[in-house]
Amino acid sequence: MSKARRAGKTIGLVPTMGALHAGHGRLIEQSVRECGLTVVSVFVNSIQFDRQDDFDLYPRTLAEDVKFAEALGAQIVFAPSATEMYPHPQNSFVEVEKVAEPLCGKFRPGHFRGVATVVLKLFHIVQPDRAYFGEKDAQQLAVIRRMVRDLNVPIEIVGVPIVRESDGLALSSRNRRLSPEDRRIAPVLHEALELASKAIAEGARRAPEVQRKALAFLARHPEIRVEYLEIVDPDEMQPVDSITGPVRVAAAVWLGGVRLIDNVLAVYY
């Protein structure tokens, strides 16, 4: 990387936990288009998991991930071990207040502290000019943007739109754990978010009313257990009561033992 930097090349970083799919592929492709050198990191970060079973079950497919990333033009796949990333007991952490507190932060204690900490470590190791994150994890993207801004980290954070299956399900490494029946039901989550977005576009201005409509739609499917469905400010991720500008409709649900998240940006006209 030092050679690339001396040559004046822009360095792009795509941080991942592996089990790469077309959603990750979109991040890699954009980095390859915009940067002279693309680094894809693959690290399943234990400190961002709030449940040990979720960490244990997270798919690990490094050999396939390396082939996938290289086929899309990434020059480096950085796949450190846990002892390389955390050679000593970790006593220093990055806390991003407010943005990290609602939504997933409410239900996954310590999750965003783990995310922000490992991402900052990766930034220090790779020293990229740009880093690419998917908008499916909209709150994570907001947390990283706030961290970079508040801590004066000289890196451009690039958000990349969600990649979906043909039936609307947002691509996720966890989708492979869905049973065939749960996979059939899973697109209902996106349908509920689109229902809320349509209501906002057609003039709904009271967030609780839109929220109730989307929740009623999800309630038709008892297999789905809703963790949250909120209408939030797209930058601070704080729930809103009145819709006066663009908002994100964000949700997390459980299907069987699999947690799915999704969001849409809703704009009123």
Instruction: Summarize pLDDT for 77-125 with one digit per residue, the tens.
Output: 999 999 999 999 999 999 999 999 999 999 999 999 999 999 999 999 9
130 and 238 in a single domain? The answer is no
155 and 250 in a single domain? The answer is no
Last residue of a domain, one of 132, 160, 188: 160
Pairing status of strand 224-232 against strand 247-255: antiparallel
Last residue of a domain, one of 119, 139, 160: 160
What's the structural domain count of the chain?
2
98 and 180 in a single domain? The answer is no
**pLDDT value at residue 118:** 98
148 and 242 in a single domain? The answer is no
The identity of residue 258, as a single letter, is V
125 and 180 in a single domain? The answer is no
Q: Is residue 168 part of a domain?
A: no
Q: Is residue 166 part of a domain?
A: no
Last residue of a domain, one of 103, 126, 160: 160
24 and 110 in a single domain? The answer is yes
Residue among 21, 24, 88, 111 flagged as catalytic: 24
Q: Is residue 78 part of a domain?
A: yes
76 and 189 in a single domain? The answer is no
Residue 142 tokens, joined: 């907001």
User: Does this model's pTM top 0.85?
Assistant: yes
197 and 121 in a single domain? The answer is no
221 and 117 in a single domain? The answer is no
pLDDT surpassing 80 at residue 151: yes
70 and 114 in a single domain? The answer is yes
Residue 23 tokens, joined: 């959603």
CA distance 57 to 41: 20
pLDDT surpassing 80 at residue 3: no
Percent composition of the chain: helix, strand, coil (DSSP 3-state, to 5): 45, 20, 35
In 3-state terms, what secondary structure has residue 259? strand
116 and 245 in a single domain? The answer is no
CA distance 148 to 15: 15
Q: Is residue 225 part of a domain?
A: yes
pLDDT surpassing 90 at residue 7: no
Q: Is residue 165 part of a domain?
A: no
> What pLDDT digit, counting tens, does each position of 232-262 carry?
999 999 999 999 999 999 999 999 999 999 9
88 catalytically annotated: no
Dmax (CA) for the chain in angstroms is: 59
Q: Is residue 257 part of a domain?
A: yes
Containing domain of residue 205, as a range? 173-266
Q: Is residue 241 part of a domain?
A: yes
CA distances from 239 to 122, 232, 235 (A): 31, 4, 11
Q: What is the mean pLDDT of residues 121-140?
A: 98
pLDDT surpassing 80 at residue 55: yes
CATH assignment of the domain containing 103: 3.40.50.620
139 and 12 in a single domain? The answer is yes
Average pLDDT across the chain, whole number: 96
